[in-house]
Structure 1
Amino acid sequence: MGCCNSTATADGAYEPSPFTKFAAVKQTTDYKESVVSKKHSGNYKVLVVCTDEGRFEMANGKVFSSGNHPTEVYLPLLHFKAAGFSFEFATASGGPVALEMWAFPTKDRHVSALHEELKPLLASPTALASVDPALKGYAGIFLPGGHGAMVNLPSCGALGNLLRAAHELSLPTIALCHGPAALLAGREGGEFPYKGYKAVSFSDKTDKFTPSIGYIPGPLPWLQQEALRKEGMLVANESEKGEIVVDRELVTGDSPLAANGIGLRAAPMLVEAADSAANSM
């Protein structure tokens, strides 16, 4: 295999090429510990919606070994934890969370410690259909990225019900990188709730380029920005700069570069939502 060809794994899937891993996979992160001005002191949780399907078939039939990106999962959660929240992980089937472990920042002690702490939750998440449809006790929903977020979450009706409920309740909904693809579940079984919302995500332009450097083993079968725009979302970015956009209850970030910032931006929103819900009881 050349340096820019995706690498075959034992199960017949493909990981990014050695060149791409060297260039794009960081062993540490830009995490900076939160200075929390107001902390949640109750029992509200953040619902972390992940994928349980890490095998993503490309348009050419090759399978990408994907899942959720560890940095995109854990950096925001570090800030949410500092703000006083616990977590409930949920997947479409209730099967274990699939992570892109080839992208794990192995020299980041904060991420590594949280990963070890949350391993039992990742191994036994809640099935999305079993989550309280009224979202009682939840401060918000977090949709981390990694291409795995494009596999089965966009067509998950149970997730669609929860997204529409969060929209009606104005609960913060946080989506990062390829996580915004999971917002498409909002059209399953009801009206898409984010028409007219401004957002950013990992760009279609970059996703079209990455097969050429062996990040993914072929062209994607569909493109998330194109699909979100068809539903009426205003997704403008064409590159990844760590940009974050807040539009009403929806918070989006464009890539792993936005993982730290989106945690800092969303944590106070979660505290406000939880305190507001608690005070209304």
Structure 2
Amino acid sequence: MSKGRVLVVGSNATRIETRGGRTGATGQYLNETVVPAMAVIAAGYEVVLATPNGTKPHIDEASDKADHFGGDEAAYRQAKAFYAEDPSMNNLKTLATVIAEGLDEYAGVFVPGGQAPVVDLMQDADLGEILRHFHEKAKPTALLCHGPIAVASAMPHAREFRAALVAGDPAKAAEWAKGWQYEGYRMTVFSNSEEKIVEDYILHAKLYFNVVDALQTAGGKVVTTAVDFEPHVIVDRELITGQNPRSDHPLAARLVEALDRATAA
């Protein structure tokens, strides 16, 4: 018997804006999606995957390799099979449907990364409603790598906040962020120096804003590691954030711990 349901929120973005009016390919990272989802299921929970439009997230090609599984080919193949075949990754709902069916039945929520959440999830009104519910109920809320930028959706003017960041107006963005539920929370997210590596070697272009700067502008107390791609997880109240792809297993462990505490209470 399931110990409870956990909502996994995926992105539908496949392109991200870059400076000069161009776009680059993007998506969701395979390991960041699958490792926590499999850990949650192994711990006895049911996983429900939902996206803004109800279609399955695109996996970023940069993540579709054994390198992100410690070079373990067997773990990589298992992850690919899980994402391709497991019912939890294929019986999708829209975020609007999840809200309509009732959020009280969910024990926790998880948002994986890849740069895709920077495009759609951070300004999605339905996700904002979902996150406000989990915040108000103090339910485990976990986000990984670029995923933590999605907490911006909980602010009253998320779309305007993002537009101001793209326009290069952090003062205006800070104004739009007023009333944000996560102001003052300690959190981590993909660091600026890690992002530069992605810009230089994967996107070959510059983004309009960095997620660290965005969350700091909103009022988050962002802490990142001195060494790039070192596993790093921060827990502050109900919020569990992981910095980068290598934080997948540590974040999964902290999420399961939080779920077990919450469901045992």
- TM-score tier after normalising by the smaller chain length: 0.7 to 0.9
What are the residue-to-residue correspondences of 1:125-274 with 2, within 5 Å? 125-132=92-99, 135-188=103-156, 191-212=179-200, 214-237=201-224, 239-274=228-263
5+ residue gaps, structure 1, are: 1-40, 277-281
Contact persistence 2:83–2:89 (CA under 8 A)? no
Q: CA deviation at 1:50?
A: 0.7
Q: CA deviation at 1:102?
A: 4.2
Q: CA deviation at 1:196?
A: 0.7
Q: SS state of the match for residue 107, structure 2?
A: strand
Q: SS state of the match for residue 260, structure 2?
A: helix
Q: SS state of the match for residue 59, structure 2?
A: coil
Q: SS state of the match for residue 175, structure 1?
A: strand
Q: CA deviation at 1:194?
A: 0.8
Contact persistence 2:84–2:90 (CA under 8 A)? no
The CA distance in 1 between the partners of 2:90 and 2:16, in whole Å, is 20
Measured against aligned partners, the alpha-carbon deviations of 1:121-174 in whole angstroms (never above 9, x if no partner) come to 545521112213651221111010100111111110110111011011111000
Amino acid at match of 1:196: G
Aligned counterpart, 1:71? 31
Q: CA deviation at 1:57?
A: 2.1
Aligned counterpart, 2:57? 97
Q: CA deviation at 1:209?
A: 4.2
The CA distance in 2 between the partners of 1:99 and 1:172, in whole Å, is 25
The CA distance in 1 between the partners of 2:130 and 2:242, in whole Å, is 21
Contact persistence 1:94–1:124 (CA under 8 A)? no
Contact persistence 2:62–2:202 (CA under 8 A)? no
Q: CA deviation at 1:101?
A: 3.7
Q: CA deviation at 1:234?
A: 0.3
Which TM-score applies when normalising by structure 1? 0.77
Q: CA deviation at 1:87?
A: 1.0
Identity %: 29
Contact persistence 1:52–1:91 (CA under 8 A)? yes
Q: SS state of the match for residue 132, structure 1?
A: helix
What are the residue-to-residue correspondences of 1:2-21 with 2, within 5 Å? none
Which TM-score applies when normalising by structure 2? 0.81
Q: How many residue pairs are counted as aligned between the two chains?
A: 234
The CA distance in 2 between the partners of 1:105 and 1:45, in whole Å, is 29
The CA distance in 1 between the partners of 2:257 and 2:194, in whole Å, is 31
More helix as a share of residues: 2
